[in-house]
Copies of this chain bind each other. A is one copy, B any other.
């Protein structure tokens, strides 16, 4: 392995219900990014209250993909997540996969632990791949969508954020996006937190981020991005539960198959990227340092 100080590392952020039995396009790409079937992959099921069942699902899926060195990191307490043994397993992993469940549960168990810190080292200094689906996807950003009602319209005060794992910043991630009609919920977040880019990922769809390089959308659906930075809104002046006026929210829809790289000075870019997209790319691919 190249010994340079910082590796790019990949994030594979999946909107839930990725195929685990048929072509497994997304999980297959995750394995490939981890280094192939010889890669060591640990599966963190802490988001789920049925951790064993979750592990079975991914044990079968990774097994079917030819992976042999995958294992269950069964974190049931913060003590587990601070234990030398669990930290060692993450330190040796080429890939770390976080299952679905409840992102609040996941953060309550691993947020701020030695295991959390080791995951950052894995991503940022070893270039490991971190995957997460559903709750495991939402947990990836610094500001995490913790819970929120899905209403017909955006509503002030209907969504609450929490502190996520922080592998990327200035975004908030929602999953099962089109299937559960969550655009209003994402607009509710962005209306009150225009610092954050809203990212909605559909089921069986992944946003793959190579830090410092670019992004790709894989799978069956699309990734929706909602940018409220230039938005004009009355959200500060209305009551809780009221629908805010939102003017000039920027919306991007990136279907599966989309692939974008940051412009580089040494490679002639074939296709000129639209400015709003370069801006988004710079945010999501930012190689944030170890804290």
Contacts and interface: CB of A to CB of B under 8 A. Distances in A.
A174 interface: no
17 contacts: A152-B179, A152-B202, A153-B178, A153-B221, A178-B184, A242-B255, A243-B255, A245-B255, A246-B251, A247-B252, A248-B250, A248-B251, A248-B252, A248-B274, A248-B276, A249-B252, A250-B250
Interface residues of A, number: 32
B253 A246 contact: yes
Interface string A162-187: 00000000000000001101011001
A84 interface: no
A258 interface: yes
Interface string A249-291: 1111111101000000000000000101100000000000000
A236 to B, nearest CB: 15
A62 to B, nearest CB: 28
Contact of A254 (B245, B274, B277): B245
Given A252-B247, A253-B244, A178 B152 contact: yes
Nearest to A183: B183
Given A249-B250, A250-B250, A152 B221 contact: yes
A232 interface: yes
A70 to B, nearest CB: 32
Given A183-B183, A187-B253, A249-B251, 16 more contacts: A152-B179, A153-B202, A153-B253, A154-B253, A178-B184, A181-B181, A232-B274, A243-B253, A243-B256, A245-B255, A245-B258, A246-B253, A247-B254, A247-B274, A247-B277, A250-B251
